[in-house]
């Protein structure tokens, strides 16, 4: 790619899918930031009938910008199903790349161009807090410890060599999503991200982690709950046991890499490192 070309020139049309539930104070700002950082991408807002009126703000943004689309669902049905509905829309409408991005401002749109560049040689790019160069801003130590611990647990249980498997800032190729059995996915929250990572790796997909700066939301309330954490713990344990019994989805054939660090590693070697 020459410096005048944008990554999206070779990748084709990109849809940024943004689920929202009660993000009234965040939505307009994040949409504007995306439109400024990467003007050539489209945005799909998937709103679950937010009681705070986020859906009406989304409609207003869509009415004044042909690149902003809105999907309304009748009620809160979880992050996972919102993404699956959004992916389905993007696949049906001819997009080649689907980006996951939170509406709360934690994911910086300025990181998106380098993620899209990395996708030219990958099937899934994860914006990663836990590779060299990645950082978390404004999280209490306890919250970061929980997230880091969850990722060590995932790597030990599943042996997939990804450092930020719970991260929700991602770019998928359309063909990656077509190949991983989206219709069978019923995980929510963090588990949804782990589930799709595992499915991609098991399918032989190349996963690249690009360092990002993740900033805690400044406005609005987190939807994370104990139930979300418990779901991830239980399911990952189940997948890990299934893998050890030879019935799991985790395959050793896929490699993962870290953009910007020049490192590439396999799942098993990485699991060994994490255990030390
Ligand atoms: N449509 C829809 N969006 C949701 C739902 N739950 C969460 N979201 C959105 O998903 C994104 C991530 O949710 P957050 O509450 O920030 O959860 P999180 O990022 O996992 O947790 P924090 O790190 O504490 O912010 C935000 O844009 C939310 O508005 C849901 O049930 N439906
Ligand atoms: Mg958040």
pLDDT level of residue 227 (50, 70, 90 thresholds): confident
- Quickly state the pLDDT bin for 276 (edges 50, 70, 90): very low
Which domains, and CATH codes, for the chain? 9-271 (3.90.550.10)
Indicate which atom in ligand 1 lies nearest the CA of residue 77. 31
pTM of the entire predicted model:
0.89
Q: Determine the Cα–Cα distance for residues 165 and 198; give it in Å rounded to an integer.
A: 9
pLDDT at 2 over 70: no
- In this predicted model, which residue has the larger pLDDT, 146 or 274? 146
Mutate to test the pocket of ligand 1, among 80, 102, 129 (most ligand atoms within 8 A of CB): 102
Mean pLDDT of 143-149: 94
Q: For residues 24 and 53, is the Cβ–Cβ distance under 8 A?
A: yes
pLDDT at 229: 87
72 has pLDDT over 70: yes
* C-alpha 105 to ligand 2 mean position (Å): 8
Helix, strand, coil percentages in the chain from 3-state DSSP, rounded to 5: 45, 20, 40
10 Å Cβ neighbour count for 50?
20
Give the H or E element holding residue 69: strand 68-72
Cα–Cα distance between 159 and 264 in angstroms, integer? 15
Atom of ligand 1 nearest to the CA of 228: 20
pLDDT of residue 224: 75
Residue 201 parent element (H or E): helix 189-202
Residue-wise pLDDT for 185-221, tens only, equals 999 888 999 999 999 999 999 999 999 999 999 898 8
Residue 206: the pLDDT is: 98
Report pLDDT digits (tens) over 248-267. Answer: 654 444 445 555 433 333 33
Q: What is the pLDDT of residues 83-132, one digit of tens each?
A: 999 999 999 999 999 999 999 999 999 999 999 999 999 999 999 999 99
- 222 CA → ligand 1 middle, Å: 7
Q: Which residue has the higher pLDDT, 253 or 273?
A: 253
| Ligand 1 atom 16, closest CA | 222
pLDDT at 139 over 90: yes
Reported as a pLDDT band with limits 50, 70 and 90, residue 222 is confident
- Whether 146 has a pLDDT exceeding 60, the answer reads yes
Q: How far apart are CA 59 and CA 175, in angstroms?
A: 30
Mutate to test the pocket of ligand 1, among 17, 18, 19 (most ligand atoms within 8 A of CB): 19
| Average pLDDT of the residues of the chain | 89
pLDDT at 175: 98
CB 113 within 8 A of CB 38: yes
Give the span between the Cα atoms of 93 and 13, in whole angstroms.
10
Contact 160, 142 (CB under 8 A): no
| Pocket (CB within 6 angstroms of ligand 1) | 19-21, 23, 46-48, 76-79, 82, 102-104, 106, 217, 222-224
Determine the pLDDT at residue 226: 84
Residue 3 banded pLDDT, cuts 50, 70, 90: low
**5 Cα–ligand 2 center, Å:** 32
Maximum Cα–Cα distance for the chain, whole Å? Answer: 54
What's the CA gap between 97 and 172, in Å, rounded? 6
User: What pairs with residue 256 in β-bridges?
Assistant: 207, 265
Q: What angle, rounded to 10 degrees, do the helices at 226-244 and 189-202 form? A: 20
CB burial class (10 A; 0-12, 13-18, 19+) of residue 94?
exposed
């Amino acid at each position: 790619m020459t410096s005048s070309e944008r990554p999206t020139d070779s990748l084709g049309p990109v849809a940024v899918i943004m689920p929202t539930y009660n993000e009234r104070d965040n939505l307009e700002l994040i949409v504007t930031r995306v439109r400024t950082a990467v003007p050539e991408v489209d945005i799909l807002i998937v709103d679950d009938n937010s009681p705070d009126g986020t859906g009406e703000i989304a409609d207003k943004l869509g009415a004044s910008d042909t690149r902003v689309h809105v999907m309304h669902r009748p009620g809160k049905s979880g992050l996972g199903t919102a993404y699956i509905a959004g992916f389905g829309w993007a696949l049906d409408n001819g997009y080649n790349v689907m980006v996951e991005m939170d509406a709360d401002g934690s994911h910086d749109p300025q990181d998106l161009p380098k993620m899209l560049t990395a996708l030219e040689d990958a099937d899934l790019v994860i914006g990663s807090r836990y590779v060299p160069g990645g950082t978390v801003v404004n999280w209490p130590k306890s919250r970061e410890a929980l997230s880091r611990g969850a990722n060590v647990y995932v790597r030990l249980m599943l042996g997939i060599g990804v450092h930020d498997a719970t991260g929700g800032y991602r770019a998928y190729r359309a063909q990656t999503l077509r190949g991983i059995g989206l219709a069978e996915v019923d995980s929510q929250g963090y588990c949804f991200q782990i589930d799709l990572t595992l499915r991609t790796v098991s399918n032989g997909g190349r996963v690249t982690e690009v360092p990002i700066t993740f900033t805690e939301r400044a406005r609005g309330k987190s939807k994370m709950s104990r139930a979300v954490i418990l779901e991830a713990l239980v399911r990952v344990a189940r997948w890990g046991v299934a893998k050890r019994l030879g019935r799991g989805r985790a395959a050793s054939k896929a490699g993962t890499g870290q953009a910007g660090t020049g490192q590439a590693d396999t799942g098993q070697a990485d699991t060994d490192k994490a255990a030390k």
